[in-house]
Amino acid sequence: MKNRNIAIIGGGPSGSTIAALLSKRGYRVGIIHDNKNTELFVGESLIPAIMPVIHELGIEEDIKKFSIYKPGASVWLNNKTVASIKFKQGEGKLPDYAYQTIRKDFDNLLLKTAIKNGTKVFNTTAKLISVSNNKVALEKNTLDFIDDYFDGQPDIIIDATGRKRLISNLLKSKTKKGKRKDVALFAHMKNVHFDSESGNIHMHRCEKGWSWRIPLPKRTSVGIVAESSHLKTFGKTIEEQFDNFVINDKQLSPFLNSAERITGIQKFSNYQLVTEQLFGSNWVLAGDAAGFLDPVFSSGLYLAVNYASKIVNAIDEKKSYTLLNYQNDWHREIKSWQKMIDIWYNGRLFTTYKIGQDRLSTYIGRKIEPHIVKHFTRIFTGEAVNSKYSMWLLNFMCGSLQDTMKFLRMQHYDQKDLEI
C-alpha cells in the first residue's frame, strides 16, 4: 500500500485525532510535538456535531471525568432577555448533547489515545524544507532526532501546528482573511452566577461586543470579544481590559459581581483566515493550520476533529474519499459557518428573535414555531451548515423576509440597532 508512513507536526486535537485513527488502521504514524502548552485554550464548549468522532475514538467516558454535560445554549440580548434552547429541539440526526470541557485535559486525552493506538510521539520542534514539485520534507536535524523512524522521509506530512501554519508560511500559500479584526480576552473565574440553565453555554450581547460564560468543573470560562480600540478604553494591559470590562458592562456585571479571576488572561486575535490550497504533493493542512473562524458558535474544535476524520478517510486507500473532496468540503462548510457568524454580528439573528416574540404568539405563528425553532437550534448543534434547507430557511428569515416585513410595516425593528 502507498503512503504508509505519516508524519504529523503538532499534537493538538486535529493532529492527535488523525494519528489515533490512522494508527488504528495500521499506518506508521509519528507526531512531532514541541509540547509547549499554554495555560488556557479557546474552544472549551463542544457542540453535538463533534460527538460522532468522539464516539469513533471511544473516549466519551473519559471526557465525562473532566467535563460538564451540555444540553443546550442560552443567548442573552440583555441581562433580562434570554433565549434558551435545548439541543433536542433540533430533532436532527446528531446526539442532543455535548460537553463543556477542560481543554488541557481534553487535548491530553486525545494525544494519549493516539499513543495507545500505536502512534510514536517525538518531543521536539519540527523543521521543514521546501523541495521541488510542491513538496516539503523534514529537515535533517529533525530526521536525526526521530532516529529515522520513517526509514527516510515520511510519505505524507500533515501540518497540525494550529495558527503557526508551518507549511503555509514555508510555501507562502494564498490565504483569505475576514473583514473583522476583533480581539478575544478570556480567563477562568470562580463564583460566577448562573440563574438558569447552568449547563448551557451562555452568550451575551454586550454594549460593544459579546461575551461567553462556559461552566466547567469548579470554575467558569469567561470571555469577551470586542474591537481592540474599544478594549483599550478599559486599560493599558490585557488584565486591566478584561477585569474592568466584565465589571462595568451592564449586561455582564450582574453575573460577575461576586466573581474572582483565578487564572491569567489569554488573548486571541485575527479570527478569520482560510488557506486556499489545503494539500499538495505530499502534505496536508489540518485544523487551524487550514483555517479558523470567529469562535461565536464554538465551531473551531468541531472543525478540527471532524475534518481530521475526513483527512484519515482521504489517506486511506480503501476509501473512495479524496483530499480534493476534503478541500472542497472544508471550503464549503467554512462559507456556511461564515454566513451564520455574519447574521450574529450584523444584528439580523437578534432581530429575527425579536420579531418572533411578536409574531409567534399568533395562530399561524404557533403552527410554524416548532419548525422554525428546530432549524434555528441546528445553528448551535452544528447541523445547519450541512443542510441546504436549513441554510436557505435561516438566510431567508434573517434576510429577505425580515426586509419585506420592514417594508410592509409588519415589523418595526432595525437590525442596525442590534449590531455587534
**191-233 pLDDT tens trace:** 999 987 889 999 999 988 999 999 999 999 999 999 999 999 9
In this structure, what C-alpha cell is assigned to residue 382?
452544528
The class level of CATH for 5-37+103-175+275-336 reads alpha beta
pLDDT for residue 130? 94
The mean per-residue pLDDT over the stretch 273-287 comes to 95
Q: Which residue has the cell 439541543?
A: 87
The mean per-residue pLDDT over the stretch 279-305 comes to 94
> Has residue 180 got a pLDDT over 90?
no
pLDDT for residue 315? 95
> Has residue 365 got a pLDDT over 80?
no
pLDDT for residue 270? 63
Give tens-digit pLDDT for 118-137.
999 999 999 999 998 889 99
CB 199 within 8 A of CB 246: no
CB 291 within 8 A of CB 174: no
Residues 6+ positions from 265 with CB-CB distance below 8 Å:
185, 186, 187, 238, 239, 242
Q: Is 208 exposed, middle or buried (0-12, 13-18, 19+ CB in 10 A)?
A: middle
List 137's β-bridge partners, or say none: 129
pLDDT for residue 106? 96
When the pLDDT of each residue in the chain is averaged and rounded to a whole number, the result is 93
Domain parsing of the chain, residue ranges: 5-37+103-175+275-336, 67-101+177-268, 346-418
Q: Where does 91-205 have alpha helices with state H?
A: 103-116, 140-145, 166-171
**How many residues belong to the chain?**
420
3-state secondary structure of 264: coil
Can you give the pTM of this predicted structure?
0.94
How far, in Å, CA of 168 to CA of 10, rounded? 14
Share of the chain above pLDDT 70, in %: 98
Give tens-digit pLDDT for 294-303.
889 999 999 9
Give tens-digit pLDDT for 232-260.
999 999 999 999 999 999 889 999 989 99
- Give 134 or 390, the one with higher predicted confidence: 390
Residues 6+ positions from 336 with CB-CB distance below 8 Å:
384, 385, 386, 391
| Residue 392 pLDDT grade (very low, low, confident, very high; cuts 50, 70, 90) | very high
How far, in Å, CA of 45 to CA of 98, rounded? 8
pLDDT for residue 277? 96
| Residue 3 pLDDT grade (very low, low, confident, very high; cuts 50, 70, 90) | low
| Residue 1 pLDDT grade (very low, low, confident, very high; cuts 50, 70, 90) | very low
In this structure, what C-alpha cell is assigned to residue 176?
483569505
List 267's β-bridge partners, or say none: 185
pLDDT for residue 133? 81
The mean per-residue pLDDT over the stretch 325-348 comes to 95
DSSP secondary structure string, 304-324? HHHHHHHHHHHH-TTSS--HH
Q: Which residue has the cell 487551524?
A: 288
Architecture of domain 67-101+177-268: 2-Layer Sandwich (3.30)
